[in-house]
Amino acid sequence: MINREALVRKYNPTLLSQRTHSPLTVGNGDFAFTADITGLQTFYEAYEHDCPILTMSNWGWHTAPFEDGKYYTLDDFNYKMTEYYYEKRIVKYPVKETEENSALYNYLRQNPHRFNLVRIGLCLNGRPIDEKDISDIRQELDMYTGILTSRFKLKGEDVLVTTIAGNTDTLAVKVESALAKESLAVFMEFPYASPAKTGSDFDSIDKHFTRFHDDGIIERQIDNDKYYCLVSGNVTVTKTGMHKFLIEDPGLTFTVSLAKEREKLSNVTFKQVREESEFRFYSFWNKGAMIDVTASEDKRADELERRIITSMYLSAVEDSGTLPPQETGLTCNSWYGKFHLEMHPIHEAYLSLYGRGVMLEKSLKWYIESLPAAMRNARRNGFKGARWVKMTGPACQDSPSAIAPLLVWQQPHIIYMLTLLYMSRYNDARVEVPTETKEEFLKRYADVVRETAVFMADFCVYDERTDSFELKPPLYSVQEKGNPGEIKNPPFETAYFAFGLRAAYEWLKKLGEEHTEWLEIADKIKKPYISAGLLQAYKGCDDTYTRLNIDHPSMVFAPGFIGAETDGNALEDSLGKIMQTWDFESLWGWDFAFLALTYAKLGHMEKAFDILMMDTAKNTYVESGNNAQATRDDLPLYLPGNGSLLLAMSALKSCKGWYVQTEGLMNYPF
One-letter-per-residue 3-state SS of 317-380: HHCCCCCCCCCCCCCCCCHHHCEEHHHHHHHHCHHHHCCCHHHHHHHHHHHHHHHHHHHHHHHC
- Which H or E element spans position 578? helix 568-581
Question: Could you report the per-residue pLDDT of 215-234, keeping only the tens digit for each?
Answer: 999 999 999 999 999 999 99
CA distance linking residue 141 with residue 229, whole number of Å = 26
Contact status, residue 385 vs residue 95, Cβ threshold 8 Å:
no
- What are the residues facing 463 on neighbouring strands? 468
> Distance from CA of residue 391 to its chain's centroid?
12
Is a pLDDT exceeding 70 seen at residue 571?
A: yes
Region 579-598 average pLDDT: 97
pLDDT digits (tens, 9 = 90+) for 223-270: 999 999 999 999 999 999 999 999 999 999 999 999 999 999 999 999
Query: What percent of the chain clears pLDDT 90, i.e. is strictly above it?
Result: 97
Q: Is 271 helix (H, G, I), strand (E, B) or coil?
A: helix
**pLDDT grade for 624, boundaries at 50, 70 and 90:** very high
Contacts 24+ apart (CB under 8 A), 204-213: 205/242, 205/243, 208/243, 210/239, 210/242, 210/243, 212/237, 212/239, 212/245
**DSSP-derived 3-state class of residue 176:** strand
Q: In whole angstroms, what is the distance from residue 412 CA to residue 452 CA?
A: 7
Q: How far is 598 from 644, CA to CA, in rounded Å?
A: 13
Range in 310-319, 330-339, 625-634 with the lowest mean pLDDT: 625-634
Kindly report the backbone phi and psi dihedral angles of residue 516, in degrees, each rounded to the nearest multiple of 5, phi listed first.
Answer: -65, -20
Give me the pLDDT at residue 186, please.
97
Residue 616 region by backbone torsions, left for phi larger than 0, else alpha for psi between -120 and 50, else beta: beta
Question: Across all residues in the chain, what is the average pLDDT?
Answer: 96
**Cβ(583)–Cβ(520) under 8 Å?**
no
User: Where does 115-167 show beta strands of DSSP type E?
Assistant: 119-124, 127-128, 134-142, 147-154, 157-165
- Please state, in angstroms and rounded to a whole number, the distance separating the CA atoms of residues 257 and 264: 9
Amino acid 182: pLDDT: 84
Contact 6, 668 (CB under 8 A): no
**CB 323, CB 366: distance < 8 Å:** yes
**pLDDT level of residue 630 (50, 70, 90 thresholds):** confident
pTM, full prediction: 0.97
Element (H or E) spanning 444, and its range? helix 438-444
| pLDDT tens digits, one per residue of 358-401 | 999 999 999 999 999 999 999 999 999 999 999 999 999 999 99
| Terminal Cα distance for the chain, rounded | 27
Predicted local distance difference test score (pLDDT) of residue 230: 98
User: Which residues are CB-neighbours of 299 under 8 A, at least 6 positions away?
Assistant: none
pLDDT category, 429, cuts 50, 70, 90?
Answer: low
> Which pLDDT tens digit goes with each residue over 72-114?
999 999 879 999 999 999 999 999 999 999 999 999 999 999 9
344 touches 416 (CB < 8 A): no
Residue 403's contacts (CB-CB under 8 Å, 6 or more residues apart) are 95, 476, 480
Encoded amino acid at 531, one letter? S
Strands laid side by side in the 24-27 sheet: 24-27, 31-35, 55-57
Domains in the chain: ranges and CATH: 4-62+113-284 (2.70.98.50), 65-110+319-526 (1.50.10.10)
- Predicted confidence at residue 421, as pLDDT, reads 96
